[in-house]
Amino acid sequence: MHVFIWFGFWLFSLYSLPVTTGQSNLICSTQPIVAHAGDDVILSCRLDPPISASSRTVEWTKPGLDPEYIHVHQDGRLVYQSQNPLYNYRTALFVDQLINGNVSMKIFRVKTSDAGKYKCFLPSLWKETFIELKIEGDFMDPSSCTPCVAISVLLGVLFILTVVLWVWKWRQSKTGERKHLLNLFSNDFLSIILIVMTTNRDDHHKRE
């Protein structure tokens, strides 16, 4: 009888273990998380069906970064030594939510350079899922929009050139008008002299 009970228990554990661990999936937001520089963001991931992640290692990494560790939660705390210094004091897990399988990571005061793909990995379950963070640039922030700055400078230069050209044209037309007047005046003056001269000559002829 004892043997059967133990055999039954053994069978039960064998079948229930994969059910409680292996079948839980790590589900992260499939939509990119969109934020502005300076915002606090939550990279949302959970185990579904929910199982506790309290006593598990949770590894948040950013592939391509060196070191790639953003937040490694082990033995109930952050493994600070492994963390990429760019993220020091800027990350947190919802430790009281781990028991519900919520392994989301919060990043405080995101920077433009934080944008990219993050990976959540639970070594004990051998589950990993990616989640993308997008940082939208503010128009006022010059570092976030190089083309905007270039276009503004170009527009400024164009505006100044237009004004300079316009003023130059205007002055040209002014002096042109003056020349025209002078021409008119001198022509009349010449004709008057001519008229005077011819009439004088006529007078001479008449007198002779």
How far apart CA 184 and CA 54 sit, in angstroms, is 100
Min separation Cβ 34 and ligand NAG, Å: 16
**Least separation in angstroms between CB 28 and ligand NAG:** 8
Residue type, 58: V
Contact between 51 and ligand NAG by CB under 6 A: the answer reads: no
**Per CB under 6 A, does 44 bind ligand NAG?**
yes
Q: How many amino acids of this chain bind ligand NAG (CB under 6 A)? A: 7
Q: Is 102 in the site for ligand NAG (CB under 6 A)?
A: yes
Distance in angstroms (rounded) separating the CA atoms of residues 120 and 65: 14
Q: Are the C-beta atoms of residues 68 and 61 closer than 8 Å to each other?
A: yes
Cβ–Cβ < 8 Å for 158, 58: no
At closest approach, how far in Å is the CB of 143 from ligand NAG? 30
Q: Indicate the residue among 21 and 102 with the shorter CB distance to ligand NAG.
A: 102
41/72 with CB nearer ligand NAG: 41
- Per DSSP bridges, beta strands 116-122 and 45-48 are unpaired
Residue 132 or 138: the one with the smaller Cβ distance to ligand NAG is: 132
Among 21, 54, 82, 97, binds ligand NAG (CB under 6 A): 97
Interface with ligand NAG includes 91 (CB under 6 A)?
no
Distance of CA 71 to the CA centre of its chain: 23
Nearer to ligand NAG, 32 or 67 (CB): 32
Closest residue by Cα to residue 44 from 103, 108, 101: 103
Helix ranges restricted to H, the chain: 2-17, 146-207
Asked if 94 touches ligand NAG (CB under 6 A), the answer is yes
Compare residues 48 and 188 and give the one whose CB is closer to ligand NAG: 48
- Rounded to whole angstroms, the Cα distance separating 129 from 34 reads 18
- 104 touches ligand NAG (CB under 6 A): yes
Give the DSSP H/E element, type plus range, for residue 131: strand 127-136
> 176: Cβ–Cβ under 8 A, 6 or more apart, which residues?
none
Residue 104 CB, nearest approach to ligand NAG (Å)? 4
Q: Does 54 bind ligand NAG (CB under 6 A)?
A: no
Kindly list the residues in this chain that would bind ligand NAG in the complex (CB under 6 A).
42, 44, 46, 94, 97, 102, 104
